[in-house]
Copies of this chain bind each other. A is one copy, B any other.
């Protein structure tokens, strides 16, 4: 019964030679092209393999199942977004909330340009597998919120667990909805303004019943 090093689980090999890494990239790119051109219904494993120029067996050497391909695409996209967000946030002062929020929103939106047909499917695939997606973005957003709160005590009302959850899901919900619905608003400044307003509105301290006499002039 002496088990070998890779006996039962049949783990998918990770590409060691450069050639193999290229194969993986080719498969992911072929998937993206099929998604962009013919939608998720056309994304069959045989079609991916054919379009990538490999046999179906090759595909299954790197991906354990069809969903793993979408998961890999999602993972790459998320890493890209998180990188952008972190870069932007590192060089901004949390003591001045609005520009920081605006830059974060802008970075988030920047990652949603182009390849809409692909993103739609990728977003939906992320939502199918619970523990990834939302929590991954929480990894950047929660420290950000904490920093904002800590450095703005008094000017910013603490959110608490529920507030943070809602704020984070609200933003991603709005942006994802725009992407999934292919809304023409996605690229517009008005959309960015609205997102900033959403965040700032929730951060601003609540002043009891109403703010009646604040400023008659709104945003126009």
Show the binding face of A for B, using Cβ within 8 Å.
96-98, 124, 127-128, 130, 134, 153-155, 157-163, 165-167, 169-174, 176-178, 180-183, 185, 188, 190-191, 193-195, 197-198, 200-212, 214-220
Contact = CB atoms under 8 A, between A and B. Distances in A.
Given A162-B190, A170-B171, A206-B215, 16 more contacts: A98-B210, A124-B128, A155-B211, A162-B188, A163-B197, A165-B174, A165-B183, A165-B194, A169-B177, A170-B170, A173-B176, A200-B201, A205-B211, A205-B215, A207-B214, A214-B214
A93 to B, nearest CB: 13
A169 to B, nearest CB: 4
B173 A177 contact: yes
Chain copies in the assembly?
2
A56 to B, nearest CB: 22
A206 B212 contact: no
Given A174-B169, A191-B162, A194-B166, A206 B218 contact: yes
Given A165-B194, A178-B165, A155 B185 contact: no
